[in-house]
Amino acid sequence: MVDLTVRGAGVFGLSVAWEAARRGARVRVIERRAIGAGSSGGVVGALAPHVPENWNPKKAFQLESLLAAEGFWDGVKAAGGVDPGYARQGRLQPVVEGGEALARARETSAAELWQGRAAWRVIEESAAPEFRPHSPTGLYIHDTLTARLHPARACEALADALRAVGAEIVIGEGKEEGAVVWATGAEGLADLSQDVGKRVGAPIKGQAALLGFDAAHAPQLFAEALHMVPHFDGTLAIGSTSEREFHDAGTDAQLEALIEKAAKLVPLLHGAPVLKRWAGMRPRARSRAPMLGAWPGRAGHFVANGGFKIGFGMAPKVAEVMADLVLDGLDRIPEGFRVEDSL
C-alpha cells in the first residue's frame, strides 16, 4: 500500500514526495511524460529573494525556504548521489541613477528582516568582481541570500533520492493510492479551473538560454530585469522572458534579443556559444503566490501548484507545509497561499 501519491514530477511534486518519504511515508510519484518535463526542466535556476521591505507572509515564507535550501539540497544529494548544482553565491545588481538612497535603506531593513543570516550591501565598483554589468552610479547591490541550482539536475537529484529511499516513480499511467497531491503545473491549473468553474491561474511563457561561459564561482547577476546565473558545470543561464500572450510554445526572436542584451550588459559574454535554447509554460496562480491546500470538493486530494518564477526557491518550505497537511493534518499554509485565495 502507498500512503501518498504525487501527480507530477516537477520541483513541487518531487519535493513534496521527498519530504514525505523522508518522514517515513510510502510514496508513489506518477509523471505522464518525464522528470522535469514542464517548466521545472528549464535552465535558469535563480533562487533570489524579494526585496527586504514591505514585509508580508509571502516574503517571510520565501526567506525561510531560502535559508532552508542548503540543508534541503544537501540531504537530497547525500541520499541519491546526484549533485543538484546548489550554491549560495549571492547576487550582484547595479544601482541605477537615483536609486542609491533606496538601496541603502534596504541595506538597513535587510539587517533586521533577514535575521542577520544574510546581508544586502551597497558596494563600490572597486569591490565588485570582474564578471559584472556596467553600473551608471559606480555602485552595486551585493546580497548574500541569493543562491543557484541547475533545474534539470535538481529534478534528477530528487528523483534519484526518492528511489534510494524506496519511493516509486512511474512514468506514464499509474494507480493512485492514499492521499493524492496534484503538482501538475500549467496543465493542473487548467484542470482545477475547469473543475471549480473559475479561472484560478494561467500559463506564462518563458524563454531562456544556456551559454558556454564559465563563471562558476562568481555571484549571479541581475540587471535590467535579466538574470545571468553561472552554473557549476561551466555554463551560464540567461533569462527569462515573461509572456502572457504567445502564438506557440517554442523559442523565437524574443530570446535572441535576450542573448544580445546579455552581451551588451556584460561585454565578457561577447562570442560565448549558445549551448541550448529553452521555452516553457510556467504556472502562475491568480494570487501570484504558490497555490497550496485541499482540492475543493475532492476529499483526500490536494494541490501544490503556482510556482511560476519562484518555484525552486519556495520548494523546501512548500514541501514542509504540504507534508504537514497531508500526513499529519496540520495546516500551516500562510495567508495568501491557499487554494481558495485564487478562487
Range(s) of the domain holding residue 54: 4-88+148-200+286-342
CA atoms within 13 A on the CB side of 252: 11
On whether residue 123 sits in a domain, the answer given is: no
With respect to residue 232, please indicate whether it lies within any of the assigned structural domains.
no
Q: 195 vs 14, 23, 65, 170, 281, CA distance in Å?
A: 24, 31, 30, 25, 21
Within-domain flag for 190: yes
CATH of the domain at 330: 3.50.50.60
Q: What total of structural domains would you count in the chain?
A: 1
Does residue 228 belong to any structural domain of this protein? Answer: no
Per the omega criterion (within 30 degrees of 0), is the bond before 240 cis? Answer: yes
Rounded CA-CA distance 234/211 in Å is: 9
**Residue 134 covered by a domain:** no
Tens-binned pLDDT, residue by residue, of the chain (343 aa): 899 999 999 999 999 999 999 999 999 999 999 999 999 999 999 999 999 999 998 899 999 999 999 999 999 999 999 999 999 999 999 999 999 999 999 999 999 999 999 999 999 999 999 999 999 999 999 999 999 999 999 999 999 999 999 999 999 999 999 999 999 999 999 999 999 999 999 999 999 999 999 999 999 999 999 999 999 999 999 999 999 999 888 999 999 999 999 999 999 999 999 999 999 999 999 999 999 999 999 999 999 999 999 999 999 999 999 999 999 999 999 989 999 999 8
Helices (H), 197-310: 253-265
Query: For residues 216 and 222, what is the distance between their CA atoms, to the nearest angstrom?
Result: 16
Angle between helices 151-164 and 57-80 (to 10 degrees): 60
In sequence order, the 6+-apart residues with CB closer than 8 A to the CB of 203 are: 186, 189, 281, 282, 283, 284
Residue 8, domain member (yes or no): yes
In a domain, 38, yes or no: yes
- Identify whether 112 is part of a domain: no
